[in-house]
Structure 1
Amino acid sequence: MEIDFNKNNDGLVPAVIQDSVTDKVLMLGYMNQEALDKTLETKKVTFYSRSKKRLWTKGEESGNFLHLNEITTDCDRDTLLVKVRPEGPVCHKGTDTCWEETNESSFGFIGYLENVITQRKDQDDDQKSYVKSLFNSGINKIAQKVGEEAVETVIEAKDDNDELFLNESADLLFHYLILLQAKGFTLKDIEGVLKERHR
């Protein structure tokens, strides 16, 4: 990995710290060659502190270390993206990130879709909505619909029509999101179970 430490004439490059699971940006620090070498050697993120004028391993006092997963450079080789597993809060103010955001998964478009389902579930009955009609039908109807979509997905998995398989898979996932909410859960609850199993 070639890095241009001399571009700014101070031997430092910005290091953007990102959670390797949630993809949240956690903080920004600076590294010189020595800080990078120590980070790679110890697998704990170490910066060059511009105020203290020395190397500083995140968590050396608080115990809130940043455990290294990987480091990549940008196209100009003068900025680092450091993907980590944080141990505790990242910001010195005690928050998850230096932008006072909660460090949790957003699930991209699937998370957006989950929010749309919540909105449709909570809307008035007089508004026409397929999602609302399913919630009004009750848990048995929703569970039955998930079962039907699961069977259709399995059937299409055995055929060679990728488009049909993907469409049935999308239907299954959509109805599963509805079932989760009907039971009072979200994707974050499922993520929690999977994380616990992964340990």
Structure 2
Amino acid sequence: MTLDFQKMPDQLIPAIVQDAATGQVLMLGYFNAEAWQRTQAEGRVTFYSRSKQRLWTKGETSGNYLQVVSLHLDCDQDTVLVLARPDGPTCHRGTTSCFEGLPGAEEAAPDATRPAPAVSFLAELDRLIERRRQYPAEEPGSYTVRLFEKGLARIAQKVGEEAVETVIDAMAGNKAGLPGEAADLVYHLLVLLRASGSSLEEMLAVLRQRHQTIGAGQRRPLPD
């Protein structure tokens, strides 16, 4: 991939960093030729800092690195979209995104402090569930940690129980209760996936593949 650095007077190319899992825009930085090469070679986002006047690997002080998932050039080769996996908060203020907590944002709109698609919360929840699995000592009293401690059989049982309750509310026309039961089902399903060594991302990959297959005119047989 070749960037056209000569288009820019300072030979710095803007780079938009987006969370690869949630779709949330995390920050804006700048590549010079050396930063661009290092980012590709090391798999961690390295920018050229205009304030420090040097190469700057995001997270070199805090440990909150941006792990590169994929890099995408625009049609003019003078802007980069970086899909990354953040190791922690991206902003130096401790927020997930540098676009959170802007002055006056709370008054402008309830969602203005969190510019991410609503559905991306599922990816955030899946990430948190996995963290609870890997580091139970961080929140030893949390419900998720206790579920993992009870083991796969109990987690699977909970998924079954929540599925039955969801079906009952749906069949009874309980519009008030159905969203809550569905939320319980989805949450416990995410826990089950992680307890089984899988993830939301792998499940979505299957759905995406099926969608592409249907788009190509290959229909899957209908269930009985």
Whether TM-score is above 0.5 comes out as yes
- CA shift, 1:198, in A, is 3.5
- Which AA in structure 2 matches 1:65? Y
Residues in 1 aligned to 2:33 and 2:192: alpha-carbon distance in whole angstroms? 40
Q: How does 1:140-155 map to 2 (within 5 A)?
A: 142-144=166-168
Partners of 2:36 and 2:46 within 8 A in 1:
yes
Residues in 1 aligned to 2:55 and 2:11: alpha-carbon distance in whole angstroms? 13
Distance of aligned partners of 1:56 and 1:142 in 2 relative to their CA distance in 1, 3 Å threshold:
closer
Distance of aligned partners of 1:195 and 1:88 in 2 relative to their CA distance in 1, 3 Å threshold:
farther
Structure 1 gaps, min length 5: 111-138, 149-174
* Alignment TM-score, normalising by the size of structure 2: 0.54
Structure 1 residues 182-191 or 39-48, which shifts more? 182-191
Question: Are 2:206 and 1:182 equivalent residues in the alignment?
Answer: no
Residues in 2 aligned to 1:195 and 1:74: alpha-carbon distance in whole angstroms? 35
Aligned to 1:130: none
Aligned to 1:63: 63
Q: Secondary structure at the match of 1:30?
A: strand
- CA shift, 1:103, in A, is 8.4
- CA shift, 1:92, in A, is 0.5
Question: Are 2:40 and 1:40 equivalent residues in the alignment?
Answer: yes
- CA shift, 1:106, in A, is 2.3
Superposition RMSD in Å:
3.5
- Which AA in structure 2 matches 1:49? S
* Alignment TM-score, normalising by the size of structure 1: 0.60
- CA shift, 1:75, in A, is 1.1
Distance of aligned partners of 1:97 and 1:74 in 2 relative to their CA distance in 1, 3 Å threshold:
same
Q: Secondary structure at the match of 2:184?
A: coil
Percent of pairs identical after alignment?
42
Residues in 1 aligned to 2:164 and 2:52: alpha-carbon distance in whole angstroms? 63
Residues in 2 aligned to 1:10 and 1:76: alpha-carbon distance in whole angstroms? 17
- Which AA in structure 2 matches 1:95? T
Q: Deviations over 1:139-187 (max 9, x none)?
A: 97852476x8xxxxxxxxxxxxxxxxxxxxxxxxxx9xx7562265375
- CA shift, 1:8, in A, is 1.5
Residues in 2 aligned to 1:84 and 1:60: alpha-carbon distance in whole angstroms? 16
Distance of aligned partners of 1:25 and 1:145 in 2 relative to their CA distance in 1, 3 Å threshold:
same
Aligned to 2:30: 30
Residues in 2 aligned to 1:50 and 1:8: alpha-carbon distance in whole angstroms? 14
Q: How does 1:97-136 map to 2 (within 5 A)?
A: 97-100=97-100, 101=113, 106-107=118-119
Residues in 1 aligned to 2:7 and 2:85: alpha-carbon distance in whole angstroms? 29
Distance of aligned partners of 1:191 and 1:107 in 2 relative to their CA distance in 1, 3 Å threshold:
farther
Question: Are 2:76 and 1:76 equivalent residues in the alignment?
Answer: yes
Aligned to 2:125: none
Q: Secondary structure at the match of 1:107?
A: helix
